[in-house]
Structure 1
Amino acid sequence: MNIVRNLSLALNKIPAIKEKLFSPKYLFYTNVTISVSLSAVGDVLEQHYEMLKGEWHEWSFKRTRNMAISGMTIGIVCHYWYKYLDNKLPGRRIDIVLKKVVIDQLVCSPLCIAVFFLTLGILEKSNWSELKNEIIQKAHRLYIAEWIIWPPAQTFNFYFLPNKYRILYDNTISLGYDVYTSHVKHDNLIHSSKK
């Protein structure tokens, strides 16, 4: 009986916790935490899949940590990007939503891909030449995937959701994309470890 009462009390606190986490005061921290967490989960899933396929021998904490930090930098960019976009294009009319989607794809997507590679390049101590080569070889794969995933997802996001839930929604959709991002980023490591 005590367990049921405690569970009921905990469930009753959820709306207040949600309201606090998504309040203007804490929204930045909530968004960054969500981005860090789901980027790490995406990498763990991808590494597990690579281990099942025999492409990766053991889980790399360093790789997951780096992917989580890249999630942090992208979470910061997206937090401010959505605020900026909503200030410049307020409203939810379909023409405004479609403008936001196109601008998001043409401006924010390439920016996030660049921030992703730059963050990981810094963490991995890559020199400029290595970083540039990696971007040339891999960024287009991520950008093509962005055009498949994000226009329909962002149409829903911009039309139905208030700004405070955009990063949560993005990261939920992005979990599968984060798995792919981790795969693209570490693809050369997988193939070189097989040799």
Structure 2
Amino acid sequence: MPRLLSKGLNLYKAAITVAFSRKYLFCTNVLISMGISMCGDVLEQTYEIQTKQQASWDFERTSQMAFSGSTAGCLCHHWYIFLDKVIIGRTFDMVIKKLVLDQCICSPIIILSFFATVAIFEDDPIENLTEEVSEKFWTLYKAEWVVWPPAQIINFYLLPTRYRVAYDNTVSLGYDVYTSHVKHAKPKKKENSKE
């Protein structure tokens, strides 16, 4: 039994080494991001079905979230490489500079790409995109400022570049549940006030 466990552990280590190697890192990051976005939507839809907010499973919605996750994985992969080339080092000052750039440049781009990639599959993509960005962008961006600064300090200070997208996605599972909720929440009907 110990020999079998040792062999399994060695195979796992070899697979991780290959997956996070320079040759396969892009594919690994995209697949992890796609998988976590799908999981976030699965969790949100499970909750919506259990609370009777939704009648049945929407596989199209989950596939759209997966596509959006793959886009985010691609963007984050290249962003972290760029960021480490522009700001070299792991001092506190460098970490804060990376954090500010990440929140002010990358976060809005990721949110906009999320709405854009999901809008591609909708009936009126341009109209839906503009409507959702105007109604929901700030909700997600405010949440980004709550979730990501503490997470990114750990990310930029402790982790090598190759593990950053994987770490992001670990944190992102909860955020992806929230993103799915915000994207697919039914608009509240405004009551006309009687004067």
Shorter-chain TM-score category?
over 0.9
How many pairs were matched up? 189
Match of residue 54 from structure 1: 52
% same residue: 52
Look up the match of 2:22: 24
Per-residue displacement from partner, 1:120-179 (whole Å, max 9, x unpaired)? 001224331221011100111100000000000000000000000000000000000000
Deviations 1:98-126 (A, max 9, x none): 00001100000000000000000012243
- Cα distance in 1 for residues equivalent to 2:63 and 2:128: 21
One-letter code of the match for 1:166? R
**Corresponding residue for residue 161 of structure 2:** 163
Partner deviation per Cα, 1:43-85 (whole Å, 9 max, x = no partner)? 0000001111110111111110000000000110000000000
Question: CA separation in 2, counterparts of 1:68 and 1:18?
Answer: 22
Tell me how far apart the structure 1 counterparts of residues 123 and 14 of structure 2 sit (CA, whole Å).
43
Aligned to 1:128: 126
Q: Secondary structure at the match of 1:188?
A: coil
Q: What pairs up with 1:1-195 in 2 under 5 angstroms?
A: 5-188=3-186
In the alignment, residue 158 of structure 1 is paired with which amino acid? Answer: F
State whether residues 122 and 128 of structure 2, in contact with CA within 8 Å, keep that contact through their aligned partners in structure 1. no
Q: Secondary structure at the match of 1:178?
A: helix
Distance 2:172 2:125 in 1: 29
Alignment RMSD: 1.5
Q: 1:6 deviation in Å?
A: 3.8
Q: Is the 8 A contact 2:38 2:62 kept in 1?
A: yes
Instruction: Normalising by structure 2, report the TM-score.
Output: 0.93
Which residue type is aligned with residue 159 of structure 1? Y
- Structure 2 unaligned runs (5+)? 190-195
Point out where structure 1 has 5 or more consecutive residues left out of the alignment. none
Question: In 2, Cα distance between the equivalents of 1:97 and 1:188?
Answer: 39
More helix by share: 1
Corresponding residue SS for 2:186? helix
Counterpart contact for 2:108–2:141, Cα < 8 Å: yes
Q: 1 CA distance for matches of 2:161 and 2:129?
A: 33
1: distance between equivalents of 2:15 and 2:100?
Answer: 34
Runs of 4+ in structure 1 deviating by more than 6 angstroms, as ranges, are none
